[in-house]
Amino acid sequence: MLSTVNLRWYHTNSGNPRPDFHPTNPRPMASSTPLTRPRIIIHGGAGNITRANLPPPAWSLYRNSLLHILRATSALLASGTSALDAATSAATLLEENPLFNCGKGAVFTRAGTIELEASVMVSRGYRKRGVGVALVKKVRNPIKLAREMLVRGEIDGGGGGNSGGDGDPAGGSGGAQGHCFLSGTTVEELAEEWGLEMCEEKWHWTKRRWEEHRRGLGEKQVPRWDEVMGQGDAEKLVGNGIGDLDWDGKEYLPQGTVGCVCLDQYGTLCVATSTGGLTNKLPGRIGDTPTLGAGFWAEEWEVPSSTLIPQQQAISSLQAILPDCFREGISACIPSLAGYLPLSAFTSTLQDEKRPRTTKSGAAMSGTGNGDSFLRINAVRTAAAISHFTPNRPLSSAVQQIAGPGGELEASAGNRWGKTGEGEGGIIGIEVVDGKGEVVFDFNCGGMFRVWMDDKGRERAMVFREEY
């Protein structure tokens, strides 16, 4: 368990721990020798994206923004930064960019308010493994709040009750009392107590999202931006122009999420996800983004290996060559061993040596799209379970079954498919097999903003199935 000193040592708001400290192991690392090739994929939302509502200038803005974040995060992973800190850093940059439906660029509720959600999950190293926060209004970066809940869980009393613990005699409030999901004023009070950057609700507002809010409800029902903000605030909060791009065509109303999945050089997977939710959602609505298993998931498991180590192969060969000797007793063939190694001990050792090795497999995913549909089928965890419990079933196939065209998400919409936005979405992820990470993704709607480093280390950026 992390001591208070180690927690201070590890935690930084910037998401950059000391280079000799790995968050899944509170002890300083004796060696920085890479064990696994890092991998990364990022998404910026999915939905009814078409060339009509995403003309070349708009795509250029999205592409350049996402590639900038990809490069920055890849550099962190290459320098030995943990998957948790790298993914959190990527999501923070997305929250700061008004292009995306999270943080600064979040969409509005029907009541004209903003309610943010975020989550992080690791494949190992923290007892909570995954946490989510929701109904956040006054925290500048909800993803940092989610990460703080995860890390501080190592010093609380656990159990969820006021029972005290090794690190917090007051009852474990240091890590949100062992809870994995908190919302509203409770989690905002913890954020302030933990020293995270707070802000006024208006900090998250952008003119572009307000206009989408107006058009979605009918412009006559909703005041104009300058009327609701006042001239001074309106000018101040319009931002740097990135989020205020207008274009024609059928409106792309964001209903998605942003997310990053990382595999670090230590073999740990992490997913970080953040969102403003559905455009014009009802106040108080909580979606899939902070809900374990629905919109995010990370895990690892052991898989038996049929490969024997050289010593095992030698013993196996000896058995094949001298079967009679093994049946009659090893002492009859090699008398000198009789006084030193009882036959029962030798055969027991032989059986132990023949036990197959195990290798680590893992999966981490982030979903984006219509969160209510993800909730109905527990989409991301279901994809992980398909891969985990079906022999030789790659994660890419499982993701296709859930989020691809004609998959379970689409089926969940029934006869409402294509009419209400239900069932639309996509999933990105990383699969680990025999220590090697593979990037996966699929979606069933018009497009999904995504960038990743391919197997050859090249930057890739796409929104549609084909190149833009």
Instruction: Give the three-state DSSP class for 76.
Output: helix
Which of the following is catalytic: 73, 81, 206, 257?
257
| Tokens matching residue 12 | 């930084």
How far is it, in rounded angstroms, from Cα 289 to Cα 271?
A: 11
**Amino acid (one-letter) located at 119:** S
Hunting for tokens 């995060």 — which residue is that?
A: 73
Query: b/e for 305-332, b at 16 or more Cβ within 10 A?
Result: eeebeeebeeeeeeeeeeeeebeeebbe
- DSSP code at position 391: T
Between strands 181-183 and 130-136, the pairing is parallel
How far is it, in rounded angstroms, from Cα 262 to Cα 225?
A: 38
Write phi, then psi, for 183 (nearest 5 degrees): -150, 165
How far is it, in rounded angstroms, from Cα 193 to Cα 199?
A: 14
SS (H, E, C) 336-367: HHCCCCCHHHHHHHHHHHHCCCEEEEEEEEEE
Counting every residue written for the chain, the total comes to 468
Q: Who contacts 324 (Cβ-Cβ below 8 Å, separation ≥6)? A: none
How far is it, in rounded angstroms, from Cα 362 to Cα 72?
A: 25
Q: Is 257 a catalytic residue?
A: yes
Please identify every residue annotated as catalytic.
Answer: 257
